[in-house]
Structure 1
């Protein structure tokens, strides 16, 4: 019997909010913004691409330019260099007008309050779990969650069929025991190197922690929340799966503390189950030479996956604050988010779209599987994912898990070290 589900408390408010532009003059508040604002309608948008989103983004930019007469200079940079480049530009008083970010924490004091210009269009429109992360100490709206990611399994359908193992029911998720048992049967029948692969990522391992009933932080994202017993059980299970060869132990040991995807193992058909996320859907639709599908996340104490995503923000240094906020509002309107989701196989962050759902022109069944897990994912997972201390804690978890796999630490010692790092990261983020 599978574990009871815990639903994400994403709701849609019944009251419609009238679109209002703030009457404040650009840069005229006491937020430290530059009071000199340019009259030209030109914006710079610092951007990194996940692949299929680039053309969809360019199409939306074209719409914005036609609608407003503005000109948007899309500046694409490698993700690995994004934070370093942005810090350098901020230090040189040359910030972009808008940036796409995965982590706003390093830039919080530099970010523009979007409520000054687009409160009616943006405030309260997005998934509740991100509220504490994107809100400043005085209620400022520092960023907008522009797309949502959801971790989850992808399976090699051909290998499951060859093994005679039924595919998991999207409406009736596996338990962890079910997933391991089925994956090992498929592994044996197809003689694959492994049964299950997981990206080397503290974010991905957080999915397992959440399913075991605990998270790095509490429901506020501002206090440690790791339950020692539940977390130790998850780490112990993870270590056992790696030691037995069910998971590729060398992947985590050789990666060190750096992120390493296991997509090549899955594409080479050396594992029938791959724990990754919805961003792989577009890539595998193009690259996979076999039949595959998204599967529901396994349940343990809870069900669902673990969230992530991107954010759009502007800066106090911007000389086009009002136009930048207008651009962010346009790119994250219901129509724009729905278009981006459909074209790039992304998940929306708007409450109205999460509630109504999105019909995808490509791989719709897979995307619906991820959307179903959005609703199953517990609220504490969102609080952890959007905590300002998440990044440092997730990195520490990769380091500690590698120690366990190498035999240099016990699961309980690893959990204690991760919890200590969570406390330190929270203190550093204050």
Structure 2
């Protein structure tokens, strides 16, 4: 069945239809037309796994799919207009609309068995912590991950950690120094310029952004363990074990490029970069290693996107039908995973590549989903980013740049967050 793409070009919700072939006779938005409209944030490529799943479902079911493409930021203004005009899509792929407008979406747990999903994935994607409703089901799930330069490890005489023999966080830093000295790399460790990468160090050492106090939250970011964690990170940057320029904001360089060029021994990034590295790394062999054990635990930070159905969608039954087709049929879901080349968010089903090396990497990546920490999930539940967001990374940057001490940086952010949120400081 043909797929028609719609692009929203005006606040009046004027849709420009880009078709391939003649329009299906009788096409409309009524249930009888068997047409499902889907809101996306970007134009899908020919390799896009979700788009391909939509096409397969349409072909198998005899239905029609129309996609409405509204850029991520524009959705904040365009979706409310859709609600006002009662012209909502039947399904949306989103990272935040259900959080911003929870009352406008269906509880999908009434139609689909949500027990099949990884619980952390459901929480992260759904973001509706105030109720038991499941407003969005995952269609993309990502976690932070560590990549390493196998050639540099061999040259430095290092064995990579395994799931049975983890490194501690202290060993990670120590071995990063060794890699820099003896592994033939310029930097032992590189970390994306993102608080969502740095915060793994905080969570693994038992820290958190907030704590729960009764029905409310308190600000805990400037705790003693968090200060110690930041002090060590600053020290490693000052010693140039990490490329300091990344975290001082002195360059727009991407640490992924440093790693691809063979200049970095260990790279903390995320699963979304694995396939890019697999394609682009040619100077050396690379692998995936499990997250290190801090003073308290291992830590990965999760993210993703989900599928949601507006309560007033004209063809919500078609959207439910598609979700069941994708999530409840193992063959369909396996095909989706193989095309997506991502980690699985459904229990008991994983992506197993044919290549032995890649399969080993994915086994580690999939197992790392078990290390999404309760502290991270609690911080997500607090919604602290509704009050301050990029300011946190700015304070971290000032600490790395030695404009502020670690204590001053975290105190400064804690005070700002407490003021904006009207939360008390943790004792």
Which TM class, normalised by the smaller chain length? 0.7 to 0.9
Match of 1:150 in 2: 143
* 3-state SS, counterpart of residue 93 of structure 2: strand
Deviation at 1:250, TM superposition (A): 1.2
Change (3 A) 1:195 1:422: same
1:338-372 alpha-carbon deviations (Å, 9 max, x no partner): 3333332212222x23xx64433351111111222
Change (3 A) 1:85 1:282: same
Deviation at 1:285, TM superposition (A): 1.0
Match of 2:92 among 83, 94, 99: 99
Match of 1:170 among 159, 163, 172: 163
Measured in 1, the distance between the counterparts of 2:377 and 2:241 equals 29
Q: Is the 8 A contact 2:102 2:135 kept in 1?
A: no
Measured in 2, the distance between the counterparts of 1:372 and 1:246 equals 28
Measured in 1, the distance between the counterparts of 2:50 and 2:203 equals 32
Q: Which has the larger displacement, 238-247 or 82-91?
A: 82-91
1:309-338 alpha-carbon deviations (Å, 9 max, x no partner): 221122245332222233334333362443
**How many residues end up aligned between the 2 structures?**
383
Q: How does 1:39-188 map to 2 (within 5 A)?
A: 39-48=32-41, 54-75=47-68, 81-85=71-75, 87-92=77-82, 93=85, 94-104=87-97, 107-109=100-102, 111-115=104-108, 119-129=110-120, 130-131=122-123, 133-135=126-128, 137=130, 139-188=132-181
Match of 2:273 in 1: 280
Q: Which has the larger displacement, 120-129 or 365-374?
A: 120-129
Measured in 2, the distance between the counterparts of 1:63 and 1:218 equals 45
Measured in 2, the distance between the counterparts of 1:253 and 1:167 equals 29
Q: How does 1:26-425 map to 2 (within 5 A)?
A: 38-48=31-41, 54-75=47-68, 81-85=71-75, 87-92=77-82, 93=85, 94-104=87-97, 107-109=100-102, 111-115=104-108, 119-129=110-120, 130-131=122-123, 133-135=126-128, 137=130, 139-218=132-211, 223-224=217-218, 226=220, 228-254=223-249, 261-289=254-282, 290-301=284-295, 302-333=297-328, 335=330, 336-350=332-346, 352-353=347-348, 357-362=350-355, 363-385=358-380, 387-390=382-385, 394-420=389-415, 422-423=417-418
1:128-173 alpha-carbon deviations (Å, 9 max, x no partner): 3344854475643211122321212100111211222222223222
Measured in 1, the distance between the counterparts of 2:421 and 2:191 equals 27
1:21-78 alpha-carbon deviations (Å, 9 max, x no partner): xxxxxxxxxxxxxxx965422223233579999432233213311343221234556x
1:147-206 alpha-carbon deviations (Å, 9 max, x no partner): 321212100111211222222223222111211222222222344332111111121122
Deviation at 1:245, TM superposition (A): 0.6
* 3-state SS, counterpart of residue 171 of structure 1: coil
Q: Point out the structure with the larger strand share.
A: 2
1:260-306 alpha-carbon deviations (Å, 9 max, x no partner): 85211111211111001111111111111121001111111211322
User: Cα RMSD (Å) of the superposition?
Assistant: 3.3
* 3-state SS, counterpart of residue 173 of structure 1: coil
Measured in 1, the distance between the counterparts of 2:404 and 2:31 equals 57
Change (3 A) 1:339 1:427: farther
* Contiguous gaps of at least 5 residues in structure 2: 1-28
Q: Whose RCO is larger (CA < 8 A, sep 6+)?
A: 1
Deviation at 1:84, TM superposition (A): 2.0
Change (3 A) 1:338 1:233: farther
Change (3 A) 1:95 1:134: same
Q: Is the 8 A contact 1:111 1:313 kept in 2?
A: no
* 3-state SS, counterpart of residue 174 of structure 1: coil
Q: Is the 8 A contact 1:44 1:74 kept in 2?
A: yes
When Rg is computed on C-alpha atoms for both structures, the one with the higher figure is: 2
Q: Is the 8 A contact 2:38 2:68 kept in 1?
A: yes
Q: Is the 8 A contact 1:158 1:291 kept in 2?
A: yes
Q: Is the 8 A contact 2:128 2:135 kept in 1?
A: yes
Measured in 1, the distance between the counterparts of 2:311 and 2:422 equals 25
